[in-house]
Amino acid sequence: MKHKWCFIFLLIFTYHTLFSLENKTNYKHIKIKVSIKSTSPEIIRKDILKFTEEKKGYLMSFQNDFIKVNFPNDKDILDEFIVFLKGKGIIVNQNFSTIDYSEEILNLSTKIKAKEEYLQQLYQLIKEANLIQTLEIEKEISKNIEEIEALKGDYNYYLELSSRAEVEIKFLTLEQRNLPSTTYPEWISRLGILNFWSNFHE
């Protein structure tokens, strides 16, 4: 009977693997690191916390010259946050990176579905089993339930990661005497002239 169970499990697992591969979805966790120069990092930090709260994000960690916040993985929110930072000081450096958890989520989802169907097969078998077989099947059911719960825990973990974006901001002090006396157009900032200017006067 054990061979029968193994065959059923493998059949279900293979079917779901092939089916899921055709419906693969991307799940990417975004990390952004920004270095910004300003005369008042403490004020910017408060503004960042307020912005984060409004966008349903949360604080992850912070120090005097550093803060890390977490946002929903939404392009509009992240774009808005970068624009928000540009209005608070001189952005010296931006770094974007992604970690793709699609494969992990896909594999876990496939395994969970297969094991849940296998569990239903076990519940059907136990109705027709004798006492000794019932004890064996109950052990198999208990083991399978524990495995499903562990897989769901991993699945939810990766799903949560892929639904959020981490933004790390490092504050660099800019002396008041080094600040430009006029506001420069956006195209100048894009050319990096302000960054060159601020580095030249350090």
Distance between CA 52 and CA 134 in Å, rounded?
A: 55
Give the pLDDT mean for 185-202: 44
pLDDT of amino acid 122: 93
Residue that has been written with the tokens 């990096």 in this structure: 192
Strand partners, 27: none
Number of neighbouring beta carbons within 10 Å of residue 117:
16
**pLDDT, tens only, 44-55:** 999 999 999 999
pLDDT band at 25 (very low <50, low <70, confident <90, very high): low
Compute the mean pLDDT over every residue in the chain, rounded to the nearest whole number.
Answer: 80
CA triplet 89, 57, 44: central angle to 5 degrees?
Answer: 20
Q: Give CA separation, 4 vs 7, 9, 11, 125, in Å.
A: 5, 9, 11, 11
pLDDT of amino acid 175: 61
The closest of 108, 144, 153 to 126, measured between CA atoms, is 144
The residue type at 29? H
Q: Give CA separation, 34 vs 2, 58, 125, in Å.
A: 57, 17, 58
pTM of the model: 0.66
pLDDT of residue 92 exceeding 80: yes
CB 95 within 8 A of CB 166: no
